Amino acid sequence: MRRILQVLGAVALTLGLSGCGYNEIQSADEATKSAWSEVINQYQRRADLIPNLVETVKGYAQQERDVLLGVTEARSRVGQVQVNPDNPASLQQFEQAQGSLTSALSRLLVVAENYPQLKSDQNFRELQAQLEGTENRITVARKRYIDAVQNYNVLVRRFPVNLTAMVFGYEPKPQFTVADEGAISRPPAVDFNRPQGATK
Q: Above 50 in pLDDT, residue 181?
A: no
Give me the CATH topology for the region 22-168: de novo design (two linked rop proteins) (1.20.1440)
pLDDT at 194: 39
Integer angstrom CA distances of residue 99 from 21, 82, 105: 37, 16, 10
Domain boundaries of the chain, sorted by first residue? 22-168
Q: Largest Cα–Cα distance of the chain, in whole Å?
A: 92
Integer angstrom CA distances of residue 8 from 13, 79, 123: 9, 52, 68
Share of the chain above pLDDT 70, in %: 80
Q: How far apart are CA 5 and CA 14, in angstroms?
A: 14
pLDDT at 179: 53
Greatest mean pLDDT among 20-24, 83-87, 187-191: 83-87
pLDDT tens digits, one per residue of 148-171: 999 999 999 999 899 989 999 999
pLDDT tens digits, one per residue of 108-158: 988 888 898 888 899 999 999 999 999 999 999 999 999 999 999 999 999
pLDDT at 199: 39
Residue 178's pLDDT band, with cuts at 50, 70 and 90, is: low
